[in-house]
Structure 1
Amino acid sequence: MNNQQMNKEDAMWMGIWHQLQEDKMKPPNEREITIQDSDGGFFERFGSMLHARNEDTEDNFLGNAALVDPEASAFLKKKEKKEAKIESRIGDDEDGDTGKDSGNESAEADSDIEEKKEDIQEIKNAMVGMNIDELYEEILFEILHNVGSDESKVSTESLFSFLQEAFKFQQESHEELLEKARIKEAPEMRLNIEVIEAKDLNSKDPNGLADPFVTLYIASAPNTRYTSSVKSATLNPKYEEHFSLPISENPNEDTLIIEVWDFDPAETIGEKMNKFFEIKGAKGFRKLMKEIATTASSGKHDNEFVGCSKVPLKTIPAAGLVMWYNLDKKGKTKTQGTIKVRLNFSSAKNDQVASQEHRHLLKILLYHELESSKVAHHWWSGKFSSLAETIITQHQAQSGLTDIDVAFAQWSVYCEVHQHHPLSFELFERIIDKLIKPIQTRNVTHEEEITIFFESTKRLLPSCFGIIRKLRKKLAGDANTLKHLTRVINIISKIATLEPTPSIDLFPEQYFGWLKKTGDLAVDIRDVMNQAVTIAAEEYFDGIVDQNELNSDDNESRLQQLIKVIQLVRSDLQRAIEHHDKVFQEKMNYQYAAVIYKVYDRKVMELVKPIVQDICNTKIERLDLLDSKDMKHNRYEEINMLTTLFELYLLLKRFSVLGSALCPGVVDFQMKDYYEWFSSGVAHWLDISVYKALTRIQKAIELDPLIAVDATVKYSSSAVDTLAIFYQIRIFWQQLAWPSAEGAFIFVSKIVDDICRCCVFYADKMAERVDSLGMVETVYEKKFQVTTEWCLAINNIDYIRQSIHSFVKELGVDDIIRNMSDFRGPLDAKRCSDTIQNVMENAIDTEKNKILELIEKLARKMNPAMRRFLTEGAELFDTDSNAMDRLMMYMEDSLKTLHTELNDDNFTRVLDAIWVEISCILYDLVQGSIEKRRPPSFYSNLRSTLQIMVENFKCQNSDKPIQSSDKETLESIDKLLELHGYEPADLIHQYYKERYTMQQKLEDSPFGLLTVQCFFQKNVLEIEVMNAKHLIPMDTDGQCDPFVRIHFFPEDKFAGVTQPKTKVIQKTLFPMFDEKFSITLNDEQRKLEEAIILFSVKDKDYFGIANQYVADTFLMFKDIADITSDSGSIKQLHLKLTRPESDESMESVKALQYRVGDKLAKEFLKKLKTKATESK
């Protein structure tokens, strides 16, 4: 099939598709409703309706993916309440924690229980080893000796009052401890300084740079100075050096002095002169000259002052600061640069004692903060009240705690409090960001801090994993939920980078009762993450299965429940993909969606496979529908179940495709062979569908009014209805998208074979439908009339036939064959392709033959009328009979209908068929007429009739020449009619024309050549017979006595014209005649272009009665030059001599043989017989 035809078919199929899409938007008419009702809408239910339901389901699925499923949520809450009854409250230390966790330790962390009020007295009692009075006294002491700029912001009395309220101390106890604090010796304070860097220093050296160093001292003790290292050749030095300066008892009256100097090394004059080429600008030159002069005169090498900054100690807050300070120089208005330093106060208190005090202080103040502010769970993010902040800051400063020490204390306290009152995960995220590097590098004040960190961490982790396990209880797109999740994953990911202290189990059973451990093997945090995600998915799946009863005896209900379960599972996966997976991947490189998919893959397989196999293998009644003609096929319950079954299949297909996307490279899914569970169901559906298709096609043909669907097309409703069936089957197959190459080939082969059977069935039934149409009977005659119905029937069959290629292509056969090639190899794929191609081509050929049979039947039905009209027309051609008019009218009406209603291809086919019939009619008439010895006029009349018909056919065919497969037959019949219409003289002339044509085709002649010169000069024909060559010997001595006689044909046109003869040349086979003849012709004779000149060469018989025949040659008037107006020589003509061979096979001779009563014919035939005898 060529590309142009394929493109036409593709365009046709696209037109069908668009038409069907438009039709879907229209309500079905009464005929369509009747057709669909005949099989209960079988194809729509499995095609477009199933597709639409699937799309609606998918839209709803995507729209509801973020919603919490109420059934699953109810199950999880029910399970949670049950577990909560046996869950023990997690205590403040491991010794007091005897309860086992049920997997719901994050119920509070998930904000699903009411906020609990904490008893501060219980917290105080829980502070093992810590004397609250001593802590209270220490804090009072620090308030009395406040340091830093914070001192003036809050009154001492306010701090005392707040502290008393937080610690729940009576006034008497407060006064007693305050008095002790007053008489306590003031602490020794120090100012900790980190010189970080300086920028944009003023240059002091000739090269435009400086060699700066920093000097630090307290104004009240100028002799105690601290100096940094020298940074060579730079104006932007980086130091990062630490210093600790003692300060006076009254620091608020003192000042820190920061000086920057340029180091000037001890150099000789020569060494300084060597720097000449390093000079930068005129200023640098002056500096170098000044240095040389100073060295030469005094030999001194003093450092040069750059600038200084003065920092009053009272401006430094207790929490410390990092600040850029300008460097000034006396007499200079312009800044000499800037320097960045970190400043904070500290004391010489024991580090471990200080840390322990800070932890207990934080705990008391935090519980007081939570109790007084009534803050909701997960909202407190580290912001204390201003009074609490002042107390905490002063304790850090006066205890000498670093920021890292404070962060460790905060982590320990906040993790503990989080168990009772969940705090914001943002708080823990900030703290661990500070601690992760010191822990990894073990850069801590005491190793004990790391142990305390991990002890605290194991109290926080249950809440973190609880957030992960309870994700399904929250609206997926909720901003707070995503915020919590992101922070939790951040915290877990950072903890995962740390190596816990070996003696600490981060996942004790009392906190992680749901965790499955293998023997004594330790689990890492990623294992716990994986189990948390996996167990949560399993619990969710079990919950929705419990909520959807699957033990019903009704198969339809079982399938519907399975569909609901899978929809819920897919919704959960969709939520995971859209909202959660990115967080897990970015923070922990953890494939969250892929992990839960694998859980569902296993669970869905375990649930669905046995049910589907049970229904497909035992619950569907397998019957041979095609052989059961009386079977009640409208079993709607079974069809409903099949619809639901394939709806389930489509869901599983989407589920499987999702797995390939989530887990690229994974091939061992439990669900990988899900489609095999449905094999029996698909096979059964195909058995039903072919029966339903044939039934619906028959119904469509019965209801077809055989009227064009609309003015733009030339086919009727049954063709559209039939293609609509194919379209529905195609939708079903495309939705099925069978993954297995072998299985897909088996099913698609069945579909192609069934569709081809339907096409052939349609052709047979459509032919039966129109067979009785078209007969018209009047009082005068009975004849077949070509009708629109016949034309539409032909077009319909052809329309269906043309759809086969495109339909098979739309089924994706090419892709299936390619998959077969990959799976089974090119040879097997080629055999499979050939099998489908053969089925398809056989169907197309059969359809084409059906069309030709219908067309031939139409032409045969026209035969009697055409035969009668042709016979009457030939017999009565020259009379007043209107038979010819009636024939032409009949043909014109028939061809007009055919041309209007048929497409071009089918119109051409009909013309061919009609010409075949006409050929048969004419052939029969000619043969019968010859036997009846009809006169030449009969044949002439018949030929005239044929020519009129040919002209009529040309008009009907848009002036195009007749393109008939039987054209040669028609030409042969026309020639036969022409011959039999000739008079005897014309037949004789025709004979010589045939001889002339045969002579022209010869390349060489065994009888020799005759050379002549001929030309016309006005009406005079000049002939010069010049010579002959290579004549055949006629005498016994091998010689010949030749002469040439000249004849003109047709004889009746040249009656009275002299027939010249040359002289005899004896004893030669190469005679030289050299004789000229002038023959005068009349105007009529001169105009006969096809007139024949016969040169007959004979051998003179001197002893016999008659001359012997040697050979003939012929020349036509049209070959002779006319030199009436020209001058010059005439070309010699070398004419090949010939003898007649098998004259009886020539049509002209056959025609003459039937003229047995004609004298001229008898004489001519006698001469031919004589020539033939002499030629032997």
Structure 2
Amino acid sequence: MSEKYSTNSPRTAALRNVMAHRGNDRNGRAGSIGCCQSLVSPQHASGSSALNRMRRRSTRRRLSQMQKAINFGQWANKRVQASDGYFFEQFSQPQPEEKESDTDTGQLTIVKLSINDNKERIQVFQDLYVEALYTIVHKVGKSSALPEPQLCKYVQNAFQVDDGLHQKLLNRAKKEKPPIVLLNISLLEARDLIAKDINGFSDPFTMMGIVPGSRRTKANDSEAGNGEQDEADEHGHETPPLSPHSQKQGNVLHRFGGSFRRRIGSKKSAKTEAKSIPAKYIKASSVQYKTLNPKWNEKFQFIVDDVSTDRFHMDIWDHDDEEKSVLDAVTSLNHITGLKGLGRYFKEVTQSARAGSQDCTDDFLGCVTMKLKDVPSAGCEDWFTLEKRSERSEVSGQVRLKLWLSTREERIDQQDDDLMDVRQHIELIRQFALHEIRMSGAPVSFFNGQLSDPATTILHQHAIQGDLTELHQSMCQWLAYSAMINIGISFSFLYDILSRLISKWVPLALDKDEENTLTESFQAFDDYCKKAMMGHRTNVSTSKRTQLESFSNMLRCWKLMRESPLYEKCLPFQKSFDYDINAILQKSAEEYFRHVIKHAEDNENPCKELYQVIQTLNKACAKMHKFDPIFKTFTDINYGLITYREFDRLLDEYICSEMMSEKKDDLKTLMMTASKTEGDNEELLITILRVHFAAQEFRQYRLPRQKYRLDKSDWGQIFDRAIVKWMDIARIKAFGRVELACQLDATIQIASSEIRHTSSYVDVCHIIDQYLAIWERMNVSDVILRADLTEKLVQCICKIAEFYVDRVLAQLATDGFCGQLQAFIPSALINLFCAAVNNIEQVRRSLVVTDKLHLDELLEQYEQKTQQKAQWKIEVESELDRCDKYLCEQIECTIDKLARRQIAILKKHVFHLAWSPSACPVEGALKPLTDTLDAELSAVHRTLLHRNFVRVMHAQVNILLPLFDECIEENPGLEPVFYQRLYEAWSVLTDFFHAGGKGISLETFETIPAHMELVSKLALNQMSTIRIIEQYYKNLLKEQNDVSECKYGILNVRAYYNSNSQTLVVDVIGAKQVIPLDTNGLSDPFVVIELVPRLRYPTQPVSKTKIVSKSLNPIFDETFEFHIPPKIPTGGMVHFIVMDHDFLRSNDFAGEAFLDLTEVPGFGTAGVANTLRQFNLILIHPSNSNKGMVDVLASRKEDKEAQNFIRTLSVAY
């Protein structure tokens, strides 16, 4: 051996580890991987794992910053938190994450292969190397085109052997005796054979053998013996027998020989070939009676002398011998030893056949010949068409054969071991797999069994030469790969391997030694899975998807193995898979609990020990939702229920034991002491509450509708008293923190944001957030007490917010933001103002706490227990609303103070806008005003929260609305163009404050009464007189049509328009249910009829009906005619006024109604002329909705039409 390959070299040491357990396991399990952990680089694996973990954490951190603008824990003043010893934080801080294993087997990579210095294992390693080279040198069958040097080079790289040792071992492989090549034949069936018997069937059987090549035949002839050859020569050219019936003795061999001699050589060499037996071995199948489609399913094996020249030949004959069976003839054939005896036997058969050939019929059914060099290395299975032996033969049909080559080694130095080929195949698979993994550089778990072409070719050749069936190869793959689970081989890949093995296995397909090997492998895998199941709570990190998937695939593979018939055969009488899983889960939970108790033991503080125990159990329970779906997928086991029940039982027993302890400071004594209202035991109180929180978290993992042993514990009252005591302490500490936060207030700047804040608001929001988070985790067993404490909590939070707001605004006033502010304010004071209102707004937002208080759920429990209507929920919500309103008012007052300092400037700009020349565009006239507004907004829009920025806009709008309204009121009755200009200006300002959706929403504008009133005034004032009048009557008509009840009665009229005479005919029929206006409870009604608007019908008279005395349902039955053109003006209608006649005083108004002329037949499409149509008009009293129109018209003193309209409204009929 070269110096490079000495037993002390690093390379030898590396290879030695790979070969661990390979030399001494011949009688045991084939395929222990040995010390596979040495194949990996823990530093590389842990580094990769750390990198992945770092990336995941950084992603989470970025998401957190995007979702939440302010992280209270990051910006809160640590001095404020430390002032009370982190009183709130110690309850709500998340527990440190479980320390995860540095080495993840799923991420291991192979960096080198090594073995130890054991000489025996080095020898085994070299023997395996020689076996691989031997397989390459003696390739069998028609295989891939990969050259021999390439295959040898691959083996050298896979075994990491230097050139010197490689050449030495290659020479050793070449010196080994070549293997004996075997041809394996599986005679399956035939079809469509020709019928030879009188019954229309045949009784087919086959004879087959190996036909030597020309050179081999000549050599065999020389060995046949002189006596036999001389006798053959005497007969000269030999004629093949026509039928096997010519000689009963040896008839089987005779037939086969006849066909065989026909198939080989030419006529010129017929005499020479007749001198010897053409087949080295001849074997016959069984007879299948009365069939043309026989099925044999028989196997035969022949020794091949020369694969390159030998041929396989098979005849099919019809058997008609009733006195001697074919099997007897085959038996006689099998007793012949050596070619001399075989030749003599064939000679006798041939002579007998020749003697009686004239009296026999030909029962030949066909033959098949195939060159052995054409047999693929993987074998072949196909239908072969039967051939004729001569032109006289009548042949049809096909025969289905399966042929494959294998070898048998007869090396002198090899011990007799039936499993040697299996063991070598296992080691080769594993060696090549480790090499492929190492070359890929990927983790072991990524390997899916894909080997390179050289490795596949070598393994394929080794399987052929070892006569390993597909079942044996699948078994070897399982034995090889299942031994690699310690270095992280994928269980998903193992599942595929095992599935293939199980699908190929059939009973009795493996011998006893092979089944024993599988048994040991199954037992080892079983033990591994049980061990992994026992430690899964500690070893499997649920935060790592790869580990969960690996565990899931392990369980899937384990289930497949346990429930397979192969496992039942190897390990019978086992309990069910689900039963074992159930037992293991219970046992593992118990062991885990013992481990927890051991690590949490604290003799000085039993409360702290209990807290550590429950908290650790919570970590295990938190994983249940990850494991439970896995177990439900592959078993009928409820993982969560089993685990929690065991933890519940063990924890209950532990607590009972601790509570019954007779130690001085036992658990029960400490818990009672901490819950007392008097005394200074804050540290112990905190520990008790931690136990309470941990116990509450433990309860959350329960499954519904189940009974648990911990339900019987009487901790509730102890915890309730502790919570009441904590609430009192927390209130004091919270106000103390607010005071200190205001004293230590400082400006904070958040990255990528110019919004002004100070640290005090963060501290206050942090206090409220912590307060609520702790309260949400508390569970007060007494519902009434919880309702009282909830109300108390809300009051405390609201007082904290209000106290903070008062302090902030007081400090702002101290800094100069008070009194009558000047128009110009320094930027420093602006920043202080922005920080103050932003702080208040942030605190206001933190008061959205109704979801965290679970008020509806608590209310239901409260009323269910007390059977009374609860008032505390209304009080709690009112308290929150009142506090929210107070904070909003303080913000708005502060902002309003800022905005009102510019009233004088804004009033001046509005005046100039109103009286700017009409030639000046509105936008130009508005520019001084919008510039002033924009300058104010620009000063704060980057430093204010959006809500506060919109509040500033609201304040400006609230200032401008009175200014515009004042402008209208001070200038009544002007031309409409004046108001139209103001209307356009306000529309521009509305868009300005809307800011494309980023400012005040249009919906919000509609909720401002002053805005709606201003828009209405401007819209009316910019309208012409006639349009206002028309709109006035349209509104009254709409009001009439929208009435839902008849409060003032109904007027019945008929009307039509005669287009020929252009006459409108109105027939006043009567009225019903007129309101009583006289003291006698009746009325004296009459109706006034006029066409409106009067401006459109100035020449039409006003008509009246007769007076019907003392009636509420008068009948008038009078007709009136109005000569008007057919074109109806806008808003044209008939106005009916019902009056009550009074002799001594003015007539009283009883109601009015309107008839739209467009509905009268004869006008347009209303109907056919001269057809009276009755209308039942509901009487109405005009509402104040039109008062604005009347006021506008009244203000137009110089407008004659407007004044005439106003006068008509006051006419007394």
Q: Same fold (TM over 0.5)?
A: no
**Bigger Rg, which one:** 1
TM bracket (short chain): 0.3 to 0.5
Q: TM-score by structure 2 length?
A: 0.38
